[in-house]
Structure 1
Amino acid sequence: MVGIASVREDGGDTQQKSTRRATALGILAALAGLMFGLDTGVVAGALPFIAQDFHASDSMQGWIVASMMAGAAFGSLVAGRISMTFGRRGAMMAAAVLFVIGTLLCSLAPEPGLLIVGRVFLGLAVGLAAFAAPLYISEITVESVRGAMISFYQLMVSLGIFLAFISDSFLASGGHWRWMLGIMIVPATLFLGIVFILPQSPRWLMMRGRTEKARKVLQLLRSDEEVANAELADIQARLNQSSDAGFALFRKNRHFRRSVALGMFLQVLQQLTGINALLYYAPRVFQAAHFGTDAAIWATTLVGLVNMGLSFVAIVCVDKWGRRPLLMLSCAIAAFAMLGMGVLLGLGAESFEAQIALCGFVLLFVAGFAIGEGPLVWTLCSEVQPTRGRDFGIACSTVTNWGANWAISITFPIVMTVLGASWTFVLFAALNGLFLLFTFGFVPETKGVSLEALESNLFAGKDLRHLGK
């Protein structure tokens, strides 16, 4: 894969090319997203049968779903320290082990309490993986393909959700929820094996003072020795500018606080789109429109298919159109679709035509989310943080994501009951509109800009919206 020239801070041009090795390693790291998606999506189909077997109330169902989010929030909180100490690969390895343990606990749980414990373990794994994988990908790829590679991670999340929905659909007729949860042991074990062949991130190696090892890794990942040495010099220059890192940098440097705040706001707004509420409780939403249980689960599978298919648009377009245009288009589509869902549910959606229209709006919303709000938030959060603050900054944004995810997943059934389905989705429409306004006002265009150039502009005091210029 051949990229475009990137402009270095000194005004010179360094031709950056991503080797097949870097691309392949980025794809393997993105399989962390597959596990993320599988464990996120599987609960939608399993929950009705878990509720039936365990006689779980709405509140207990909320805790079963939200326990993974609570674990993920804590996992994200400690992910920065683990990643800094053991490397991005070390964090992904810990996540893989936790995926295996959590899967076994969930599939064998004799009562809701142990099921919740298993979901917490899965959440810890997801929190670590969601932190480490996009960060790792952003650090081993070059700017010309960085957006596409991080978007590929989101594609893997979407693929995992879709595969989980497919599995749930085939197992739904017998109510085999333990098999729905237990079959995840296969990809979890595979991911554990894959992590062992990934090299450490060269930027992490540089931060640990292992310059020669970083040089060897970069020479494997880049087109030639000159390109690798130039990138190594850029990284070293960034590291030499200040000895402060992590929280110390956050406390002393107001410009770093701006990038951290941007990442946190992006993650909150992503959760307020309503995507995870829809994915976790999709069968319940379709049942509110008078779908039968089996029909609702198959309709949910269609949601997963669209989510996966439209993620390809982000991969193809993110490094051509840019982050800002794609994200604003995504927000506009999602807001319109949520408003349509709210209006239809308010009118009753009892006729066959209304049910088809409701499905159409659900799929349109998922399509809108998949082309921008989903992948580009993770892309931007991985790009805007400076080298010495990257672990801390991404940890802050990731833990914010899971905290908001947890709050929405545990309150969504209650909100649906209090406001009704119609007003709930009208509210989500307004929140997607808010996301559009925020993107216009604060989100920078990072297409084709090196991480070092973005860092230089940040510390020079440029407006967040103009960091890429």
Structure 2
Amino acid sequence: MNTVAPAPAASSALPAPASRTTAIFTCILAALAGLMFGLDIGVISGASQFIQKDFQVSDHMIEWIVSSMMLGAAIGALAASWMSAALGRKRSLILGAVLFVAGSVLCGAAWSPEALIAARFVLGLAIGIATFTAPLYLAEVAPEHIRGAMISLYQLMITIGILVAFLSDTAFSYSGNWRWMLGVIAIPGALFLIGVFFLPDSPRWLMMRGRTSEAVSVLTRLRGDEAVVHREIADIAEQLKTPQLGWHLFLENSNFRRSVGLGVLLQLMQQFTGMNVVMYYAPRIFENMGYDTHAQMWFTAIVGLTNVLATFIAIGLVDRLGRKPILYVGFVVMALGLGIVGTMMHTGISGHTQQMFTVAMLLLFIVGFAMSAGPLVWTLCSEVQPLKGRDFGIGCSTVTNWVANMIVGATFLTLLNGIGNAATFWLYAALNLVFIGFTFWLVPETRGITLEKIEQRLMQGRRLRDIGRSSKDGEDALATADGAIVEAG
């Protein structure tokens, strides 16, 4: 049985330049899984109208083609929890990359709508595995001083992948070749597959399997400081003493059920903002505004660019302003943007000025999502789960995300055809207003408070909105500081 040597005194030194470079390269390569995710989300948007013309299928069949990927992703995410523990994070990423390449090639070669649905399902399995495994791997290999940046990089890679897919679709739209639109993403997928073979195994997973000496070797390459390596090995060993109770804790503890329920609700809120409606059906939306095919594709690319740029707003403000204020602003902006788009479609869009104004309001909606619910929901879902049930809680959130995503993708065109363009956008605008109330009554403010404190308050049975930061925290901190001054005096 392997044992862990006592950790030397903690060192504050940064890793040696060579080790720092190795660590950053490793993290960037792993974060490219987010790029694959974004490519898969974005690529179907521009291809769907050409698929519909080629196969002569209904809107309902297009909804199935779009949403089959999300069904596969939900199943992939469920399987990834077991795979990442049994096979390891690296092997799970390899399997995800293989499925991604195979699914992309099959999409490009699809001989029928049913074959395309099956190929999209395979792609979904790949994405489900990647969305669970890549952030987990990044959190376990990234040095402490860049961990937050590297995990944020994964989220940024998703938005970049969507943008690249939109640009690729725009280029191929001049020939209308949807097979190349769907198949070309196999190229970056193959490059990612090759790169994953050069990734080290996760030190935490190696220690879970009793392979401590290998974990030390990997951390030495990534950290370059013996004191830091021994301290981190000791920390991992201590963390592994806390078993993941998961399902048992869910059945036995009502407070844990509340945190899992909050994570599920947050993911439902994120998906029913209507963001993925735009991601999957942007050209159709721009067609309803009166634009021709090439203008539809270029405006879709602008949507992707706006999504990338607005994500930096969240990265820059989340630890300054807090989670809830940004969510409030985001939901208001999204409701306003979609409400105006619906109104413009109701009154009729005539003339270039009205067209551009409607596009601007849709882009305003994109900004609202990318700066708030997009990245912050994932942050909150990880922060509100107690340590003993964190894997289970985040797993429930991830599966909920994909199931809700599938529902949105499979119903949008039906809504357009059933209740009309204006009413559909008004519906999503109304949902965003409802989410403001959910945020006020149920969502805690987690900025500047430790995960241990959040867990303690949750298990004490406090209201969900009160398990995070509050004005009382500031008063307590001030009282503690005053007491220390008096005592020192």
TM-score of the aligned structures, taking structure 1 as reference length: 0.88
- With over 3 angstroms needed to count, the CA separation of the structure-2 counterparts of 1:457 and 1:433, relative to structure 1, is same
The aligned counterpart of 1:63 is: 64
Task: Report the Cα offset of residue 278 of structure 1.
Answer: 1.1
Deviation at 1:395, TM superposition (A): 1.9
Match of 1:116 in 2: 117
Residue by residue over 1:48-80, the C-alpha shift from the partner in whole angstroms, topping out at 9 and shown as x without a partner, is 111111001111111111111111111112121
Letter of the structure 1 residue corresponding to residue 264 of structure 2? M
Higher relative contact order (CA 8 A, sep 6+): 1
After superposition, the C-alpha distances for 1:284-312 in whole angstroms (9 at most, x for unaligned) are 11111111122112111111111112222
* Residue 483 of structure 2: aligned partner: none
Tell me, in whole angstroms, the C-alpha distance in 2 between the residues paired with 1:315 and 1:269: 20
Once the 2 structures are TM-superposed, how far is the Cα of residue 134 of structure 1 from its aligned partner? 2.1
Query: CA 1:446–1:92 in structure 2 vs 1: closer, same or farther (change >3 Å)?
Result: farther
Answer yes or no: is 1:103 the counterpart of 2:84. Answer: no
Gaps of 5+ in 2: 1-9, 470-489
Comparing 188-197 with 268-277, greater Cα deviation is found at 188-197
Contact 1:330 1:373 in 2 (8 A): yes
Q: What residue is the counterpart of 1:126 in the other structure?
A: 127
Q: Distance between the aligned counterparts of 1:367 and 1:29, measured in 2? A: 27
Distance of 2:441 and 2:59 partners within structure 1: 39
Code of the aligned partner of 1:393: G
The answer as to whether partners of 2:11 and 2:227 remain within 8 angstroms in 1 is: no
SS of the residue corresponding to residue 374 of structure 1 reads helix
Contact 1:92 1:132 in 2 (8 A): yes
In structure 2, the CA distance between the partners of 1:421 and 1:164, relative to structure 1 (3 Å rule), is same
Aligned-pair Cα RMSD in Å? 2.7
Report the residue type matching 2:84 in the other structure: S
Q: Which moved more, 1:272-281 or 1:435-444?
A: 435-444
Structure 2 equivalent of residue 375 of structure 1: 375
The change in CA–CA distance for 1:330 and 1:134 in structure 2 (over 3 A counts) is farther
Whole-Å separation in 2 of the counterparts to 1:379 and 1:141:
17
Distance 2:21 2:40 in 1: 30
User: Is the CA contact 2:244–2:390 (under 8 Å) kept in the aligned structure 1?
Assistant: no
Which residue of structure 1 aligns with residue 34 of structure 2? 33
Post-superposition shift, 1:272? 0.2
**Residue aligning to 2:251:** 251
Q: Please, which moves more after superposition, 267-276 or 199-208?
A: 199-208
Please show how residues 356-367 of structure 1 align to structure 2 within 5 Å: 356-367=356-367
Task: Say if 1:147 and 1:315, in contact at 8 Å, map to a contact too.
Answer: no
Deviations 1:246-292 (A, max 9, x none): 32232233343233222211111111010111111111111111111
Equivalent residue letter for 1:346: H
Cα deviations by residue, 1:198-225 (Å, 9 ceiling, x for unpaired): 3333443444444444455455555855
Matched, 1:51 2:52: yes
Give how far 1:455 is off.
5.0
Q: CA deviation at 1:153?
A: 1.6
In the alignment, which residue of structure 1 is the partner of 2:408? 408
Between the aligned residues of both structures, percent identity stands at 50
CA-to-partner distance for each residue in 1:126-151, whole Å, 9 max, x for gaps? Answer: 11111112222334446765544333
Query: Which blocks of at least 5 consecutive residues in structure 1 are unaligned?
Result: 1-12
2:78 & 2:266 partners in 1: Cα distance?
A: 17
- 1:449–1:169 CA distance, 2 compared to 1 (3 A): same
My pick for the range that moved more, 434-443 or 275-284, is 434-443
Question: Deviations along 1:167-223, whole A, 9 cap, x unmatched?
Answer: 111111111111111111111011112222333334434444444444554555558
Instruction: Specify whether residues 83 and 150 from structure 1 end up closer, same or farther in structure 2 by C-alpha distance, changes over 3 A only.
Output: same
Question: Partners of 2:298 and 2:236 in 1: how far apart?
Answer: 49
1:385-425 C-alpha deviation (Å, 9 max, x unpaired): 34443332222111111111111111110111112111111
Structure 1 residues 379-388 or 64-73, which shifts more?
379-388
Contact 1:135–1:382 (CA under 8 A) maintained in structure 2:
no
- Match runs of 1:181-200 below 5 Å: 181-200=182-201
Is the 1:270–1:377 contact (alpha carbons within 8 Å) kept by the matching residues of 2? yes
Tell me whether 247-256 or 183-192 shows the greater mean CA deviation.
247-256
TM (norm. structure 2) is 0.85
- Structure 1 position 39, deviation (Å): 1.0
8 Å CA contact retained: 2:23, 2:143: no
Structure 1 residue 462: deviation in Å? 5.5
Instruction: Answer yes or no: is 1:269 the counterpart of 2:253.
Output: no
**Contact 1:44/1:279 (8 A) holds in 2:** yes
* Distance across 1 between alignment mates of 2:113 and 2:410: 16
Task: Measure the CA separation in 2 of the matches of 1:457 and 1:217.
Answer: 37
**Alignment length (residue pairs):** 456
What is residue 76 of structure 1 aligned with on the other side? 77
CA 1:180–1:322: 2 relative to 1, 3 Å = same
